[in-house]
Structures are given as C-alpha cells and as structure tokens.
Amino acid sequence: MKQNLRGIKQQELKEEIKNLGIPAFRAEQIFISVHSKLAKNLDEVKGIPKELALKLNPHFTIEPLDLITSTTSKDETVKFLFGTGDTISRKVKIESVLIKEEDRNTVCVSTQAGCNAGCEFCATGKMGLLRNLTPAEIVSQIYEIISITGIVPSNLVFMGMGEPFLNYASLMDSLEILTDKKGFGIPSRRITVSTVGFTGRIKKFADDISANANLRNIKLALSLHSTDRGFRETLIPVSKKNTLPAIYDELVYFYRKTGNKVTYEYIYFEGLNDTDNDVKRLAKLQRMIPSNINVIPFHPVDFELKPPLDILNKKIHEKIIHGKEKSLSNSKNLLDFIARLRKERVTVNLRSSSGVDINAACGQLAVKN
C-alpha cells in the first residue's frame, strides 16, 4: 500500500527516501511541497526531476480528503463534511469547522470518526467509534479548508470529533508535522488540545511536548463540566476510572513540567452545575495552578438524553422553537453564574456559540456513515 505523504514526518521521510537510494536532501524538497506549498498530488511536487517522481510513484501518494458538503452559519462559521480517500479500507465521513473572528481564524480539528469516550451531552459520543483517523487525515482537514476558502488559520483547536488522547500516536504525529518549520509551521502556542482526562496520558503529553522544541507551548484544555464527581461521571462515563483527584494531580504535573497555563472547559447546565458549591470549588481549583475557565452554553442536540439532561435539552429546544432563546450566550442565569465566579476572582471567559444554527458548535458534531 502506498504511503500518504501528508502523514509522514520529515525525519521519517528522510529515512524512507534513503532506503530507496535517493539523496536525503530530496526529502526536504518533497516535505516543503506537501506541507508548505500544499501539493495535492506527486505531479505538483516542485523541484524534483521527472525520473525521481516516477521512482516515488510506486511507494507514495498524496491523498486529499473529499469535500462532500460545506454549510455556513449566520455568524460565518463554516462546517465541512469530508469523506476519507482510498488509502484506508474503511471509508468514513468526518466534520471540521472554521470559526471566523475579528482577530483570528480557528480550525476545529477532528481526530476520530465518532468517539469512544461516550460523553452524555455530545452528539459525536452518541455515534460510537467508527475508527481513529490517520495523521494524514488529521492534517488534511486543515489543508483542505485552506484550499477551499483561501483562509490560512491562525489557530488550531483539537476539539472536533473524537477524543484526541484516545488516538494519541496519530495526534502526536500530526502535531509534529503541523509545527515543522519546513512545512506548515504553525507556532505551538497557537494550538490547543482538548481532553476529558485520562490517568497517565496527561503526564505523557507533558513529557512529550517538553522534549520537542516545536511542541512545548501547546495548550491543554480539560473538558471539566463539573467539579462534582458523581455528576461528572454521569456526564463523562470514562471519568469513573479517571477520577478528578487523579486528573488534578496530572494537571499540576503538566503545569510544572511545561509552564503552560491550563484551560478548563465548562459547559453550563442550568440548575445542575451552577450552585454556590460549584462556584467555590471552581475558585479553589483555579488557585491550584494558573488557569482560566471557558464557560460554554449547553447546545441542544437532536437525540434523547438521560436524566437529568433530558429535561434541560427539551427546555432549550422549546425556547428556540418558540423564539424565546435568541442567544444561548445571553441567558440571565448564565451571566449571573459568570458574575458569581468573577466575584470569587476566577478568570472566566464566556465562549460564544459559533455555528450553533448549523450544528457546528461544541458537542453538536455528528455524521451518518
């Protein structure tokens, strides 16, 4: 089977080229064409003789993703539905999102088709896991969006479909490829990786990015959503084995190892995770290490949820249908919750519901394969 050049790190490509009896400097030329010039096939690889391209052809290919459709929201957020190419025996569909803001353009990247974390509030989790994406498929989401829109993203967030730490090897390979200065060359400080938290994996991530100068400033976001262990285990089933105390210890290790501030993602479930005790625990948590909390409105989903989220999901749906919920970010109770956090000197940001009208917001990505 031919290897997809989009998924091969520069050093690995040099070894592959060397084994074919080709001078190593050709590998850098190929890498630049694939990841900086965004060549879509071997014919577009610049600077190499025709006979060399013929020699590469039996061993390598460049396999872009297939754009199936794209949808643009009222706020100009764009959701892309991609199909994987022929290099994987089981084709799947995945979604990626381009979020346009005044000072940045962010691509929300998927690492899995579906997800095996099974979070109760997440449409992707309800799909189950179809398969992990390859490094080439992860990287290609960004390259296809650039090709389609002409917009080069300033930021990348690994918060799309899937749990990045459950496809760890492909995640790390894609990060190395994307930050390579001979290729796409995005600074690591402009990358955020999100996880629900797995014992041992956060520490490994801290060790791995610290050992690579191109990766060391990558930000980590924990999908927290509740500081109450019982309620969090209802929301995130894998947290029964990956308990909050253990995850907190790993976050402390991450900060001490990398010096990078941690972000806590906190979906607001009205009446469920906004009590005075929640505010006090969040304030205590933020004093543990430098961090900030991103509060995200709960985005309704089109499937049945288990109690107690089922009632809340129906309530928000009804408000939207009857025109009583013009903006999920302007709920009086949500703004009051944020005010109480700030009163406790918590650094908190309210995340906008970008793309909610096209099911592109947090927790809404899902496809039928």
Q: What does the domain layout of the chain look like in residue ranges?
A: 3-61, 66-358
From first CA to last CA, the distance across the chain in angstroms is 24
Amino acid letter at 329? S
* Dihedral angle over CA of 8, 14, 15, 21, nearest 10: 130
| Residue that the structure tokens 């490994």 belong to | 204
Catalytic residue of the set 63, 95, 144, 163: 95
Fold of the domain built from segment(s) 66-358: TIM Barrel (3.20.20)
Distance of CA 68 to the CA centre of its chain: 20
| C-alpha–C-alpha distance, residues 81 and 74, integer Å | 18
Q: Give yes or no for a contact between 63 and 41, defined as CB atoms under 8 angstroms apart.
A: no
Residue 114 has a pLDDT of 93
Fold of the domain built from segment(s) 3-61: DNA polymerase; domain 1 (1.10.150)
Active-site residue flag, 119: no
Would you state the structure tokens that stand for residue 100, as one six-digit string?
């346009």
Q: Give yes or no for a contact between 60 and 26, defined as CB atoms under 8 angstroms apart.
A: no
One pLDDT digit (tens) per residue for the chain, 369 residues = 899 999 999 999 999 999 999 998 999 999 999 999 999 999 899 888 888 888 999 999 999 999 999 999 988 999 999 999 755 557 899 999 999 988 899 999 999 999 999 999 888 888 899 999 999 999 999 999 999 999 999 999 999 999 999 999 999 999 999 999 999 999 999 999 999 999 999 999 999 999 999 999 999 999 999 999 999 999 999 999 999 999 999 999 999 999 999 999 999 999 999 999 999 999 999 999 999 999 999 887 777 888 899 888 888 867 655 455 555 656 889 999 999 999 999 999 998 766 666 665 566 566 766
- Identical topology for domains 3-61 and 66-358: no
Active-site residue flag, 362: yes
Catalytic residue of the set 108, 115, 122, 362: 362
3-state secondary structure the chain: CCEEHHHCCHHHHHHHHHHCCCCCHHHHHHHHHHHCCCCCCHHHCCCCCHHHHHHHCCCEECCCCEEEEEEECCCCCEEEEEECCCCCCCCCEEEEEEEECCCCEEEECCCEEECCCCCCCCHHHHHCEEEECCHHHHHHHHHHHHHHHCCCCCEEEECCCCCHHHHHHHHHHHHHHHHCCCCCCCCHHHEEEEECCCCCHHHHHHHHHHCCCCCCCCEEEEECCCCCHHHHHHHCHHHHCCCHHHHHHHHHHHHHHHCCCEEEEEEECCCCCCCHHHHHHHHHHHHHCCEEEEEEECCCCCCCCCCCHHHHHHHHHHHHHCCCCCCHHHCHHHHHHHHHHHHCCCCEEECCCCCHHHCCCCCCCCCCC
Residue 322 has a pLDDT of 46
Q: What are phi and psi of 80, to 5 degrees?
A: -115, 135
